[in-house]
Amino acid sequence: MNKNYRLHYLFIFIFLSFIVFGIVNDGLMNVVYGLGRIIKEPDILITDYFEVGGIGATFVNAGLIGIINTSIFLILKTKANGAITAAIWTSVGFAMFGKNIVNIWPIMFGVWLYSKYKRESFLNYALIAIFSTNLSPTLIQFRGLEIVHSYFSMILGILISIFIGFIFPPLAAYCLKFHQGYCLYNTGLTAGFIATILVSNVRAFGGDIPKRLLWYNNRDVGVEFILLFTFLIMILYSIKIGGKIKVDELKELNKTSGKLVTDFTVLYGEDVALLNMGIMGIVYMAFTLLISNLNGPIIGGLFTIVGFSALGKHLNNTLPVVLGAAISSYLNVHSLTSPAVLLAMLFCTTLAPISGEFGPIWGMVAGFLHVSMALSVGYLHAGLNLYNNGFAGGLVAMFLIPLISAYRERRNV
């Protein structure tokens, strides 16, 4: 096996196991029917594919998207690093509630067109192409709008999606300056601005995008098993390639701030990064099961945490943020077990670098503010931006970082 691509091969093995699990769980015909429903249904937040197409079809969809994205990097002969790992696993997570094997392509094609416009290799844009699919619900969302004739709605959705992909790379690069790397989901902030502009124009011309909440509530032991299997495979494979559990390196990893770009695969090796990913997956799955069952959006949150555990997240910098979010959720008027609050408590870890850089108190403040922001900004983009918490986290970071910097400067005078 080529060591440069061993993480890719591991991920493909896991994604194949998702496909097998999905077919065994629901049966091939039910999976095919469920995939059809997933592809045809609107995908704006919150659309739980468990509820739309069933558990089996959801895992097959996620497995296929994981294989597609991983194969792109294999074709481009690109070694897996922290950013690539985060992109792959974030997309697989959102393939549980918003991305599917059809709606990701127009935006990715738009990014490819931009690379041709810039006369640069697509290799330089493959990462952003995968992250930019957070706006993939745009593809079919124009279907049914009164301001758009039904015959043209799909064509318009395709053209807008391609345009979004085309403008996404320069906007994402600029948005990074706003929060200085303290929001890990930078593309969520970018997509939030794009979707807000798009939705505001739809509303200005008399259109409306209805709210959507499909949320699967039942417990499924098989789902818990396949997730535990995934995280344990990561830990076991890290031991295989590293020869042992590298406790000292893991301790050093937990001392980092996690600010973009803190690539654990480069700093500590693929084995330590995988170990951190597996541990984070198990810890946050256990946390989730204390208050909720696993479903599509929840798994999306877990897989995003796992992916970014190769690019900035660890227990030391995420726990204070989650604690702050939990306190906010307990004190505010929303139920601790409401869908939006549960997701905010997982996705608030986008602000982990604030805790890692400035200490746990500021991390708790960031998590506290994040919940309220995440519950409010969804109206602006009407659920078109799947990375709603990235948008919210970016705004919180833009608000907090200048204040923290000013406070620290005053103390140092």
- CA 255, CA 239: separation in Å to the nearest integer? 21
Say how far apart CA 50 and CA 297 lie, in whole Å: 9
C-beta of residue 30 within 8 angstroms of C-beta of residue 52: no
pLDDT, tens digit, for every residue of 183-228?
A: 999 999 999 999 999 999 999 988 888 889 999 999 999 999 999 9
Q: Provide the pLDDT for residue 35.
A: 98
Q: How far apart are CA 104 and CA 95, in angstroms?
A: 10
Question: CA geometry: angle at 355 spanning 350 and 359, to 5°?
Answer: 175
Q: Phi and psi of 214, rounded to 5°?
A: -115, 120
Residue 214 is given by DSSP the state: B
How many Cβ atoms from other residues are within 10 Å of residue 149's Cβ? 10
C-alpha distances in Å from residue 140, one per residue of 16, 39, 82, 249, 308: 28, 9, 32, 46, 29
Burial 363-402 (b: 16+ CB within 10 A, else e): bbbbbbbbbbbbbebbebbbbbbbbbbbbbbbbbbbebbe
* pLDDT (0 to 100) of residue 291: 94
Q: How many Cβ atoms from other residues are within 10 Å of residue 4's Cβ?
A: 11
pLDDT of residue 146: 58
CA 11 to chain centre: 16
Radius of gyration of the chain (CA): 20
Residue 144 falls in which region: left (phi positive, over 0), alpha (psi -120 to 50) or beta = left
Task: Print burial letters for 118-129: b (CB count within 10 Å at least 16), e (below 16).
Answer: eeeebeebbbbb
What is the pTM (predicted TM-score) of this model? 0.96
Q: With contact defined as beta carbons under 8 Å apart, do 305 and 284 qualify?
A: yes
Q: Is the peptide bond before 46 cis (omega within 30 degrees of 0)?
A: yes
Compute how many other C-beta atoms are within 10 angstroms of the C-beta atom of residue 269: 17
Which residues, given as ranges, of the chain have pLDDT below 70?
A: 1, 143-151, 409-413
Q: Which two tokens stand for residue 317?
A: 């910098």
The amino acid occupying position 254 is: N
